[in-house]
Structure 1
Amino acid sequence: MCTSVMYQNAKGNWFLARTMDFSFELDGRPVVIPRNFHFQSDANEAGFDTKLGFGVAGRNLNGYILVDGVNEAGVGAATLYFDGLAKFADQREHGKTDLAPHEVINWILGNITSVADLKEKINDVNIVAIANDLFKIVVPLHWIVGDKSGACVVLEQDKEGMHVMDDPAKVMTNSPDFQWHLKNLNNYVQLKPTSHSAKAYGEFKSDAYGLGSGALGLPGDYTSVSRFVRAAFIRENTDKADTTGGSINALSHILNSVEIPKGVKADNEGGCDYSQYRGYMSLDEGAYYMQPYDDQTITRVALTPEVLNASEPTEYPLQKQQQFNSVN
């Protein structure tokens, strides 16, 4: 599971952010993949090449497993779970770049310069139903991609093929499909940041207790349906920050509304989804920010010429436990 949002600050700069909600311990950390990198592929023995450098969250597990990031062209992308609906090709296709589902984010961030560029090139890719070595399953995924112009799309591949859909809400979660989530927002037109006015019931006048009544009916559970509505409402009404730091702070508060603490979303096998980290992609700046669950410190990784032109990826392991300052 996961939630992702785009956000524009008062200066017009765009950001993409996400929670990584999963039960399997990913132990992700910031990584910078340099320019002109060659990836091995589970779908193609020859692998594939990339041109652009990018900052991303992931791990090297006999090959990099990457899940969200930003490249030097100002494109941000995140991969999210699309359980029960994702459907990929049964075989390779000559003349196209064959990719396993878990490799799509690597190809996007390494080769795409804008959302418009993605729309032109996505048909050159064939996503093949090949299992991930770590999870031992074909991972059911879909993707959100945004650029520094504010353009945003969702990619979903089902039994009818690949769908590239503009995302006017600038929000994405998990199943059902994206178009269903947009239609569901029509059930919440009553939501607003200001209070509702008084209402008469016969001779009785009903008035709200304090501010906040405009958000009555905002769903508070952790299903993907409710997280989509909640993220859309809070994103839409959060103040626009003036600075990059203020924007990351605003996004951290937006994602607080959908973050999943350990233990509150359990499965029947004894596991539980929780927000292992929050990732923030500053698209104009070209920087990746990561905020892990166990230590709320936000780590910034910039796409500098040094790391973009390095011969190998650069990793940035994170602290594991929250540190506190003592005040006597």
Structure 2
Amino acid sequence: MYQNAEGNWFLARTMDFSFELGGRPVVIPRNFHFKSDATEAGFDTKLGFAGAGRDLKGYILVDGVNEAGVGAATLYFDGLAKFAEHNEATKTNLAPHEVINWILGNVASVADLKAKINHVNIVAIANELFKMIVPLHWIVADKTGACVVLEQDENGMKVMDDPVKVMTNSPDFQWHLKNLNNYVQLKATSHSSKKYGEFESDAYGLGSGALGLPGDYTSVSRFVRAAFIRQNTEKAATTSGAINALSHILNSVEIPKGVKADNEGGCDYTQYRGYMDLDEGAYYMQPYDDQTITRVVLIPELLNASEPSEYPLQTEQQFHSVN
């Protein structure tokens, strides 16, 4: 999350994956009915929202912002996510990959989410694209600056306030918070000189306050790096300035192709960056292969449409607005 000088809040993320997801900007209108892999009945939504998604016999979104100013994103929670084995008749049953659709379509604030999440049952059902039960957890924020992380493990659903306003992948969120205690020496200003016997050492230029900031591509290091840089980045004066500032913050954790490889020849990389203006209700998508940002705004014509609206990513080096 990021707040500009006008007091407006934004949520931004990198989507890092080795499998080509093929997402693009999508707007889901108000009062929409989703099919579900968990139940034949599916589920209904009330609020319109925009985000990154794909039509896979029904739209699946992985992040986005709704008309009430709620933003949400799903991230990998490998090795720790644990979902229900069976449906519950008294609850809304969802597959893990359907949770973002439900949140953005039905939740008007973080407080509203806290009141409603216990009426949801997340069931261990495979995603058709990946042919597996996708291990996920979620970050949810609203335009007041409230922010929570949702994690479901063997002990059930946890709804945790996020005071750092940063989230990455495994380990669990509480572990990441405790790990920040190992980096209390980090600061934006330089460290003072230090004496060793009669010798006085001094830093070579500015920036010594960030000595020890981890620079690798593990989720552990990226959490620390994002928390430090977010905390110390100046507040932009305008919305466009905020998107620009967020792009620079995410530059610090973006994964170029080839630097995070597995042993089977694949590699994770940042397929796109998503920026969510929680005040305006606008979604920005910036793909890896072309740094052009496509902007989609939730206007009445889109919110009241009878079907979802889908937009190709722009390729010219300029902002492109759909409004």
| 1:78/1:105 contact within 8 Å kept | yes
Cross-structure match for 1:16 = 11
Instruction: Name the SS of the counterpart of 1:78 in structure 2.
Output: strand
Alignment of 1:58 onto 2:53: yes
Q: How far apart, in 1, do the equivalents of 2:317 and 2:275 lie?
A: 21
Query: Alignment partner for residue 219 of structure 1, among 214, 218, 223?
Result: 214
Query: Alignment partner for residue 252 of structure 1, among 232, 247, 254?
Result: 247
Q: Percent identity?
A: 86
Write out per-residue CA displacement over residues 32-88 of structure 1, whole angstroms, 9 at most, x where no aligned residue.
Answer: 000000000000110000000001101001111210000000000000000000000
Deviation, 1:18, is 0.1
Q: How far apart, in 2, do the equivalents of 1:81 and 1:308 lie?
A: 29
Amino acid aligned to 1:215: A
Cross-structure match for 1:174 = 169
Query: What is the number of equivalent residue pairs in this alignment?
Result: 318
Q: If the length of structure 2 is used for normalisation, what is the TM-score?
A: 0.97
| Equivalences for residues 184-263 of structure 1 within 5 A | 184-263=179-258
Q: If the length of structure 1 is used for normalisation, what is the TM-score?
A: 0.96
Instruction: Name the SS of the counterpart of 1:169 in structure 2.
Output: coil
Deviation, 1:107, is 0.1
| 1:29/1:316 contact within 8 Å kept | yes
Q: How far apart, in 1, do the equivalents of 2:106 and 2:56 lie?
A: 22
Q: How far apart, in 2, do the equivalents of 1:315 and 1:301 lie?
A: 10
Deviation, 1:24, is 0.5
Q: How far apart, in 1, do the equivalents of 2:2 and 2:313 lie?
A: 25
Instruction: Name the SS of the counterpart of 2:148 in structure 1.
Output: strand
Deviation, 1:323, is 5.7
Write out per-residue CA displacement over residues 220-260 of structure 1, whole angstroms, 9 at most, x where no aligned residue.
Answer: 00000000000000000000001000000000000000000
Q: How far apart, in 2, do the equivalents of 1:55 and 1:130 lie?
A: 25
Cross-structure match for 2:281 = 286
Deviation, 1:11, is 1.0
Cross-structure match for 1:120 = 115
Q: Which runs of 5+ in 1 are unaligned?
A: 1-5
Q: How far apart, in 2, do the equivalents of 1:49 and 1:183 lie?
A: 38
| Equivalences for residues 144-155 of structure 1 within 5 A | 144-155=139-150
Query: Alignment partner for residue 74 of structure 1, among 56, 69, 74?
Result: 69
Cross-structure match for 1:3 = none
Alignment of 1:100 onto 2:110: no
Deviation, 1:94, is 1.1
Deviation, 1:318, is 1.1
Change (3 A) 1:322 1:273: farther
Query: Alignment partner for residue 133 of structure 1, among 124, 128, 135?
Result: 128
Amino acid aligned to 1:109: L
Q: How far apart, in 2, do the equivalents of 1:230 and 1:36 lie?
A: 40
Instruction: Name the SS of the counterpart of 2:224 in structure 1.
Output: helix
Cross-structure match for 2:154 = 159
Deviation, 1:203, is 0.3
Instruction: Name the SS of the counterpart of 1:291 in structure 2.
Output: strand
| 1:294/1:322 contact within 8 Å kept | no
Amino acid aligned to 1:199: K
Q: How far apart, in 2, do the equivalents of 1:312 and 1:268 lie?
A: 42
